[in-house]
Amino acid sequence: MAEQVVPSVEPNEMNWLSRVFNIIFEPRKVFESLKQKPKWFVPFIVVCILGIGFYYFAYPIIMMEQIHRIDANEKYTDAQKESMKQYMGRTEHPPIIQFAFQPLGVGIIFLALSGVLFFVFNVLLGGDSTFKRVLSVVSHSYMIAIPTAIVKYPLVFIKKTVDVPTSLALLLSVDMKDSFMYRFLDGFDVFTLWQVVVLSLGMSVMYKFSFKKSLVPICSMWVLLILIGSWIAGALGGLGGF
């Protein structure tokens, strides 16, 4: 009697709305679908819209905080401070040309992070997947920007400051804001951690790795980026700032 062959069942393809919703509640199903047909464009558009919208409406708050930093910076003369403040206070909303930098920046981040992860998982860890699949994982992991916006954006407008930490920095006093330790702990944001977990899950699906094998290198890169970012912010006198 011939052995019966049971065909493998591929996951149903999700439409863009299902992916947006399920990346938050059932990310594994999203990545199983993306493994068959990788996609990245919708997350790119969503992240750009969230970034542009926030920058447009929070622009007066951002400029006011920049002005406060200028006033507190002893490197500038009073005349230089006044000149910079006059230039920054010319408009209540950013120039239209600045919005072009948002898609460019998001695209660079998506491609750069995908390139690094593709190298680490294909070359260093001996996995086998495509760049497009990795790009689809990276782009969809950034959809955590949606719950981030739901929680953080209202707080920004209520408190009139873009500094609304949801990180380990809450354990420290606000007086330590300019310290290395504050900047370092601020990197361990709950929403960024959520994104790291989703990203690791997606890579484990694409490469058929265990979740732990994917989580360890991604967490290591995350901590390294926090260290570098904290050091750079300190070197720039607190004016700089995953």
β-bridge mates for residue 167, sequence order: 189
Q: What is the pLDDT of residue 12?
A: 67
Distance between CA 122 and CA 100 in Å, rounded?
Answer: 33
Average pLDDT over residues 51-74: 84
Q: Are 34 and 198 in contact (CB under 8 A)?
A: no
Identify the CA nearest to 195 among candidates 134, 150, 129, 146. Answer: 146
Exposed / middle / buried, residue 235 (Cβ in 10 Å: 0-12, 13-18, 19+): exposed
**Hey, what amino acid is at 143?**
M
Q: Are 180 and 71 in contact (CB under 8 A)?
A: no
**Positive or negative: CA dihedral 228, 157, 20, 103:** negative
**Owner of token pair 């912010």:** 233
Residue 4 pLDDT greater than 50, yes or no: no
* DSSP string of 21-67, one letter each residue: HHHHH-HHHHHHHHHHS---HHHHHHHHHHHHHHHHHHHHHHHHHHH
- In the chain, where the domains are located: 16-72+109-235
For 192-235, what is each residue's pLDDT tens digit?
Answer: 999 999 999 999 999 999 999 999 999 999 999 999 988 887 77
What is the phi/psi pair of residue 4, to 5°? -80, 130
Let me know how many helices (H) and strands (E) the chain has, helices first: 10, 0
In percent, the amount of the chain with pLDDT more than 90 equals 60
Q: Are 145 and 47 in contact (CB under 8 A)?
A: yes
DSSP one-letter code for 179: S
For 128-183, what is each residue's pLDDT tens digit?
Answer: 999 999 999 999 999 999 999 999 999 999 999 988 889 998 888 877 887 889 98
